[in-house]
Amino acid sequence: MIDEKAETLVAPPEGKRMRRRPTKGRPGARRLLRALAIAGAVVLALVARVVVGSAMELDHGDAAMAGGDPEGARMHWRRSAAWYAPANPYDDRALERLETMAIEAEGAGSIDDAVLAWRAIRSAVVGTRGLTTPHADWLARANEKLATLMLQQEQAPMDSDLSDSELRSSYASQLADPPGPALGGAFLALFGFLLWVGAAFRMSQRAFDADDRFDRRVGFAHLGAIALGLVLFATGLTLA
């Protein structure tokens, strides 16, 4: 300790030690934890939006079917199945309802309606493709059924010279090569993804001071960018 009235340093009394103020955690570690927490919250919000959207479309489809509107039911169930997220139970239920619709239509001799239901399944699954194809087993089953059922529909004059086996092989080949996503929608989804991820990371670095106090002006600006990125991401996925 320092004796302000003395000209020399005075050692602390024997048996006592100088107390040090506790140091806070490293700023880099705190920033990393904030970034992970913000990213996790955004991902959870996105998954929740997908699950809620799938559940709502499933309910709309059930209501349409109960009201005697199978076309509306088919449309809403297809949308429900297209809202894919891991562990989402509602897209599976929507696919099962569409399959039941297709089987019942085929049993009643309505081949066109059966084809439409299987096409709805195929469209929903194809729309969820990315690096992998969720529900690939559903896609394979839909392609198989469509190749068979389309033989029972009225054929185009240009196919009149083909045998059933040749025609079915042609259908199967076309169904196995679905069109890729629209480039505009894919780029929009990618831009939205990079925007919300970048804004979330930047907010974790800039919206908190050294004492972890939240700067509202900076933070709300970044939250707005995150929200915009999520909207663009969801819109791009829809258009793709």
Highest mean pLDDT among 24-28, 72-76, 208-212: 72-76
63 has pLDDT over 90: yes
The mean pLDDT of 118-133, rounded to a whole number, is 85
Q: Which among 195, 189, 201 is positioned nearest to 33, based on CA atoms?
A: 201
**Residue 73 CB neighbours (<10 A):** 23
Q: What is the pLDDT of residues 197-212, one digit of tens each?
A: 888 888 877 877 777 7
Q: What is the pLDDT of residues 132-190, one digit of tens each?
A: 788 889 999 999 999 889 888 777 666 667 777 877 787 778 788 766 666 787 788 88
Name the burial class of residue 121, with classes exposed (0-12), middle (13-18) and buried (19+) by CB atoms within 10 angstroms of its CB.
buried
Q: Where are the domains of the chain?
A: 52-179, 181-240
Query: What per-residue confidence (pLDDT) applies to 208?
Result: 77
**Angle of the 89-107 helix axis to the 27-66 helix axis, nearest 10:** 20
How far apart, in whole angstroms, are the C-alpha atoms of residue 170 and residue 172? 5
Q: What is the pLDDT of residues 4-23, one digit of tens each?
A: 554 555 555 555 555 544 44
Give DSSP secondary structure letters for 112-135: HHHHHHHHHHHHHHHTT-SSS-TT
Query: What per-residue confidence (pLDDT) applies to 137?
Result: 93
Query: What per-residue confidence (pLDDT) applies to 23?
Result: 45
Query: What per-residue confidence (pLDDT) applies to 46?
Result: 73
H-only helix segments in the chain: 27-66, 70-82, 89-107, 111-126, 136-149, 164-175, 183-206, 216-239
The mean pLDDT of 59-84, rounded to a whole number, is 95
What mean pLDDT is reported for the chain?
Answer: 81
**Angle of the 216-239 helix axis to the 183-206 helix axis, nearest 10:** 160
